[in-house]
């Protein structure tokens, strides 16, 4: 018999305390996973979609030009949103949906030397992502320019430069018409139909053109054109309404090409116009004898490295040569429709120059983040 008070066996108590301790650690780990790891992984998924949808929008821009200038319907697709992988011990937010929509209509105004004025409605096109973690503003298409609007975080990022004014001072306008809105996470087809009616052949002489734009002179247009451009570009702030300015150009009728493209259906016959300004109808809808090539390309960066794959297959026309100017310094660094594992540091401008079998060329430049 032992002396003193017998307090009993406390080994069971130790086991309970150990279980509680392990359970607490597990709860902490799960909380850290939910609060930090899951958002970080979802942000990577959203960023990958951001890159993918940017390439979709580049293809959409090219398709709008092709539909208008080549009089051929186009059917590009855009992946609106993304979903997250299922998780056993964590909770995902709802799928990140996106919205692709047109703006209100604004009139392109064309006035000739006799005072005759013609108005053609056009719209901007906006893609607005609904990401939960990755911070991104809307992407806009207007007047051949594709850009990311990060004005809330410092400015805009040009994805595709303007080809509104070509190297030979030809003004090529493609008016985008019809109301359009799609939201969700799936892939949506954007049906683009060129007009089959209307002309502006009554216009003569020198033309004064006002084109709606959300880009101000300071933001983009003041530096968008080469020094030898003769179309006298100016911007009138807030000419249409607050935040919608007028890009003013002066051009001779022979140097203006104008086309109209409708989303989902052909543009209204009363608003349509083919590129036969100042020229009697030749029975060919005013189309030029030879189609001009259209340069366009996509890119894919290999993780965080400097290696980038370039793909010019989205370019349009009977193209003979593809030339890549990495750094946009005037030197051709690579040729061919595709370039694999090019050494391109972040924030480098890359220009693609395409030339067709008749010697006509076009170029586009993109900044590779």
Residues 4-51 have pLDDT tens digits of 555 555 656 666 676 677 777 777 766 766 667 778 888 889 999 999
Select from 122, 144, 119 the least CA-distant residue to 69: 144
Task: Look at residue 162 and tell me if it is in a domain.
Answer: yes
pLDDT band at 146 (very low <50, low <70, confident <90, very high): very high
Q: For residues 211 and 334, state if they share a domain.
A: no
Q: For residues 273 and 346, state if they share a domain.
A: no
Give pLDDT, residue 176: 95
| Boundary-marking domain end, from 235, 261, 282 | 282
Give pLDDT, residue 301: 81
Q: What is the pLDDT of residues 102-143, one digit of tens each?
A: 999 999 999 999 888 888 999 999 999 999 889 899 999 999
Q: What is the pLDDT of residues 159-213, one digit of tens each?
A: 999 999 988 889 999 999 999 999 998 999 999 998 754 567 788 889 999 999 9
Give pLDDT, residue 279: 41
Task: Look at residue 353 and tell me if it is in a domain.
Answer: yes
Q: Which domain holds residue 81?
A: 11-85+94-282
| Boundary-marking domain end, from 282, 312, 333 | 282
Task: Look at residue 123 and tell me if it is in a domain.
Answer: yes
Task: Look at residue 244 and tell me if it is in a domain.
Answer: yes
Q: For residues 184 and 309, state if they share a domain.
A: no
Give pLDDT, residue 60: 96
CATH code of the domain in which 312 resides: 2.60.40.10
Q: For residues 272 and 309, state if they share a domain.
A: no
Give yes or no for a contact between 212 and 127, defined as CB atoms under 8 angstroms apart: no
Q: For residues 221 and 136, state if they share a domain.
A: yes
In whole angstroms, give the CA distance from residue 204 to residue 224: 27
Token digits for 359?
């010697």
How many structural domains compose the chain? 2
Average pLDDT score, the chain: 83
Task: Look at residue 346 and tell me if it is in a domain.
Answer: yes
Q: For residues 273 and 300, state if they share a domain.
A: no
Q: For residues 301 and 278, state if they share a domain.
A: no
Q: For residues 275 and 325, state if they share a domain.
A: no
Q: For residues 277 and 295, state if they share a domain.
A: no
- Is pLDDT above 90 for 85? no
Q: For residues 276 and 300, state if they share a domain.
A: no
The upper half-sphere exposure of residue 75, i.e. CA atoms within 13 Å in the direction of its Cβ, equals 2
| Boundary-marking domain end, from 216, 248, 282 | 282
Rounded (5°) CA angle 260-101-156: 95
Task: Look at residue 4 and tell me if it is in a domain.
Answer: no
């Amino acid at each position: 018999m032992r002396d003193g008070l017998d307090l009993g066996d406390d080994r069971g108590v130790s086991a309970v305390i150990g279980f509680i301790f392990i359970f607490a650690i597990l709860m902490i780990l799960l909380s850290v996973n939910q609060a930090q790891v899951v958002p970080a992984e979802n942000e990577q998924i959203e960023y990958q979609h951001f890159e993918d949808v940017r390439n979709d929008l580049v293809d959409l821009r090219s398709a709008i030009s092709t539909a208008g200038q080549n009089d051929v319907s186009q059917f590009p697709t855009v992946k609106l949103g993304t979903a997250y992988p299922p998780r056993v011990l964590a909770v995902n937010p709802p799928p990140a949906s996106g919205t692709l929509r047109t703006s209100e209509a604004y009139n392109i105004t064309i006035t000739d030397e006799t005072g005759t004025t013609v108005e053609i409605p056009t719209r901007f096109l906006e893609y607005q992502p609904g990401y939960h973690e990755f911070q991104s503003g809307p992407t806009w298409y207007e007047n051949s320019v594709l850009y990311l609007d990060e004005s809330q975080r410092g400015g805009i990022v040009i994805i595709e430069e303007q080809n509104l004014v070509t190297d030979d001072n030809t003004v090529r306008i493609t008016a985008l018409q019809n109301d359009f809105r799609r939201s969700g996470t799936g892939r949506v087809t954007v049906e683009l139909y060129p007009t089959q009616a209307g002309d502006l052949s009554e216009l003569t002489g020198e033309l004064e053109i006002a084109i709606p734009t959300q880009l101000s002179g300071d933001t983009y247009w003041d530096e968008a054109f080469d020094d030898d451009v003769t179309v006298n570009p100016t911007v009138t702030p807030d000419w249409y309404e607050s935040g919608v300015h007028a890009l003013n150009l002066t051009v001779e009728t022979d140097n203006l090409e104008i086309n109209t493209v409708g989303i989902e259906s052909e543009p209204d016959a009363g608003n349509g116009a083919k590129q036969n300004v100042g020229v009697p109808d030749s029975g060919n809808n005013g189309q030029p004898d030879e189609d001009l090539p259209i340069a366009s390309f996509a890119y894919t960066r290999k993780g965080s490295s400097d290696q980038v794959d370039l793909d010019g297959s989205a370019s349009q026309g009977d193209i003979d040569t593809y030339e890549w100017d990495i750094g946009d310094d005037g030197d051709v660094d690579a040729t061919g429709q595709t370039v694999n594992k090019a050494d391109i540091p972040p924030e480098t401008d890359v220009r693609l120059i395409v030339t067709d079998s008749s010697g006509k060329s076009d170029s586009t430049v993109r900044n590779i983040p």
